[in-house]
Amino acid sequence: MVLEMVGGRKNINVEVDCTNEIYFPYWIYKRLELNQELALRNVINESDRDIIKKMVLVSLWCIQTDPSDRPTMHRVVEMLEGNVETIQVPPKPFLSSPSISPRTSPSH
C-alpha cells in the first residue's frame, strides 16, 4: 500500500506498454535506477523526499520473494529511523522461481 501511495498508481496496471511495468514494484525499481521522481510531484522539501525514498526502499525490502531476505521488524524500525543513504536498494524480486544452480540440481 505504501508503494501505491508513493507511486500514485495501482499495484497492477494491465494498460501499460511494457510487460515489466505490469508488476508495480518493477516500475518503482526503474524509477529508482533512473533517479526519477516518484509520483509525488508536489513534494518540494528535500527532507520529505528523503522520507519518501526511505519508505519506498523499506517497502521493497519487505516484499522480497524469499522470506529470509525480508528484514525483521526490528531492522525495519532501524531503517526507518536511520539515514536514507545507509539503505541499499534491495534485489529485484523474481516473478517466478529462480533457476536451480548446478550445485543444487540432482545428478543423473
Instruction: Please state, in angstroms and rounded to a whole number, the distance separating the CA atoms of residues 55 and 57.
Output: 6
Q: At 68, list the grid cell.
A: 529470509
The total number of structural domains in the chain stands at: 1
Per-residue pLDDT reduced to its tens digit, 57-82: 999 999 898 999 999 999 999 999 99
**Within a domain: residue 7?**
yes
Helix (H, G, I), strand (E, B) or coil at 98: coil
Residue 4 to residue 40: CA distance in whole angstroms = 11
Domain that holds residue 36: 2-86
In a domain, 91, yes or no: no
Residue 100 lies in a domain: no
pTM of model > 0.85: no
- Residue 107 within any structural domain of the chain: no
Listed in sequence order, the residues at least 6 apart from 12 whose beta carbon sits closer than 8 Å to its beta carbon are 22, 23, 24
- The count of residues in the chain is 108
pLDDT digits (tens, 9 = 90+) for 1-24: 666 666 555 555 545 555 555 567
- Dig out the grid coordinates for 100 from the structure: 536451480
Q: Report yes or no on 99 lying in a domain.
A: no
